[in-house]
Structures are given as C-alpha cells and as structure tokens.
Copies of this chain bind each other. A is one copy, B any other.
Amino acid sequence: MIFYRLWQVMIDLDQSKYLNISCLNQPHSDIQNAGVYNPIFICVISHTETSNIPGITVAGANTDLIKYTSAADSEYLYYGYCKSMNKIPVTPDGKPTPAVISRTALQLADIPLFVVDGGSFIKPSIPLISFGLKPGKNIIYGDAVDISEVRKAYDYGIILGRQLAKTNDLIVIGESIPGGTTTALGVLTALGIDAKFKVSSSMPKNPHDLKNRIIAECMQKININFDSIKSDPFTAISYFGDPMIPTVAGICDGGVTSGGRVMLAGGTQMSAVIAVLKALRRPLDNVFIGTTSYVADDLSANLLELMNSISPEVPVYVIDLHMNESEYAGLQAFAKGFIKEGVGAGGLAITASLKSRGRINGSVLLKAIERQYELTIKMSD
C-alpha cells in the first residue's frame, strides 16, 4: 500500500543511507523521494501542571524553571538566546535543549517558523499564534483540560492547518511541553492502548513506575465508563491529557484534509496525537512521524510497538544525528539517553535533509549543531 502513495516523502535506499534517515516500520526499498520543497515548521508550546510532579521531567532544573521551558525554547528558536529569562536553555552540566538541533536545521534549510501558543504558562517575547487556551491542570487533581478548551484547540488547529497547507507542501509540527510524556501515556491508556513502559522520557532512567502509578490513580479516581471513552478522544484528553495534544491534532487534521502533508516531529507524545486522530476516524494518509534515532532506539521505551498498536500504516521516519561523534559531552548526552528529542528536533533534521536534497547530510548537520551549541554556551559566559 505504502508504495503507491504518491504524496509520501520517499527516499530510496542509497539516499536514505547518505541522509542517515530510515523508516522504522516500512521497507526502505519501497520508498522513493517525492520531494519536499516548501516546508514550514510549527512549534506548539503548552504547559501542564502535571509537570510539577517531582521526578517527571528533566526539562528545567526545578519546578519554577519548568514553567519557563516552553517560552525559553521558542525564544531560542527565533533569537538564539532567551529574552524572557536570563538563563540559556542548557542544564548546569551542559546538556542543551533539543531546540539546538531544531534551530540549526531551520537555519541551514531556511525553513519558516511559527510558534503556536497552545496553552503556554509564560508567554515568550515573540510573535505568537495564540489559540487563547489556558495551561493544562495537573491530571492528579481532576480534569486536566476543560472540554470546551479541547474543542477550541482542535477547531483553531483546523483553521490554522488549512491556511498552512495552501502554500506549504509539508507542515512539520513539533512541541515543547514539559511533562508531556505522562499526559500522552494518560490519553493513550484512556483510548485503550497499552502504552505502559512504551512512552519515552527526557531522562536515561525512565520513571515508568511513577508515570504508570499517576495514570492508574487518575483512572481510579474518575468514575467513568472507560469503554465509552475509547471512541471519545476529546473526553480522554479532557481527563488525562494536555492542551498540546488537541492543538497538534487539529493542525494536522486541517492540513491533511486541505491536501497537505504533515510530519509530526516528535516521539511517543506524537503517537498520542495519532491515537486521537485515529479514534476520531480522521484521515491519516498524508501523516507521518519524524523523530531522532535516540527515541527510536530507546530501550526504556518502544515507539515502534506503540505505533504498530495505534496505526501501523503511519510511517515513522528516524534520523541518526551521530551525536555520539560530537566533541562536546553536552551533545553526546543525546546518544546516552538524555533529552533525545523535543521542539521538533528529529523531524526538522529530516526535513532539512529532504529540502536540501541531501546537501544537508549527517556530517553537515552535526558540524552546524556543534557551532550552534558553541554559540549558545558562549551566551552564558
């Protein structure tokens, strides 16, 4: 089937090797390059108070800083530094935000960028496509997102996706939401997908037990018929999700139904978006996932199995960024189980390679990421 889909970003075997891109769930030999000429990147920034639960995320050094993560990431994408806070988005021991990769890919391939405020906490100092959403609440204490907010996020997403598909042949959507893998686990579980021990983490020691316990407690507290919720993803998001999920799902839906192609740039969080679209019976023909090999190869998670149980027909593209070959320990960390992905890093690296028809290959990208990292570190001097 996949072979006949003209729309697809198709890479033949040799070129995929050159680009360090592979497809996780479809045979390489079936894939040829259909071309990406006019892509656009949409970064959805959101907040969920679920990220306040200690031990749930590495993003931000402490609870106060977690609130600034999304704003810092999006300012960093535009400016190369953060305006709203005096900190650079790098941990004290030098591990950077994955936006270092995203910014590098955006610049190298001259890809336009828009940031969507899908319920952020701190508003970044940039032009911001506002959906007028509130941040998500902690799923432990009850409804995470008002059902009216879920619908609004989805409806506004459709409007935006439609506009974007008119002049862009690929809409790449990334996200920045601390604590997002836990809410993704919640939504997947509520939709009847066995996602335990499969969602990824920004830390090498994935706090699966903590995440599983949170979701189990939530489900116990809420006295609803879980069979009925399986075909009602908006309610699932309302109880267990975050405002990022319906925002991204809506943009994806609007883009695809207007004849566009959409790359969901991220790991297991984007699988929750796919699960929502699937439950809504929305078309997934022109949708695929693009992520880093650090998510795909993550032994403490299982993106492939997750995607196979949700929607095996959605191709999962993976890029090896060769961060292990970097001279910087902060960048090597990506290959050692830290950060792994986020802010659309993997999908943007793939898109940069495709748009440049292979000119931006693995070694070009790694060198440019290192230069970007050096600039970022210098800012803190």
For the complex formed by this chain, how many copies does it contain in all?
2
Contacts of A131 in B (CB 8 A): 127
CB within 8 Å of B: which of A159-187? 159-160, 163-164, 166-168
A38 at interface by CB-CB < 8 Å? yes
A112-B78 in contact (CB<8A): no
A132 at interface by CB-CB < 8 Å? yes
Contact of A126 among B113, B127, B159 (CB under 8 A): B159
Contacts of A128 in B (CB 8 A): 129-130, 132
Distance in angstroms between the alpha carbons of A114 and B269 in the assembled complex: 28
Contacts of A126 in B (CB 8 A): 156, 159
Closest B residue to A157 using CB positions: B127
B163-A113 in contact (CB<8A): yes
Interface size class of A (residues with CB under 8 A): 20 to 34
B132-A164 in contact (CB<8A): no
Do A111 and B156 form a contact, CB below 8 Å, given A127-B129, A128-B129, A129-B129? Answer: no
Q: Report A81 CB to chain B, min CB distance, Å.
A: 14
**16 further contact pairs, Cβ within 8 A, besides A112-B167, A126-B156, A127-B130:** A38-B167, A110-B166, A113-B163, A114-B129, A116-B127, A117-B130, A123-B132, A125-B132, A126-B159, A127-B129, A127-B131, A127-B156, A127-B160, A128-B129, A129-B130, A167-B167
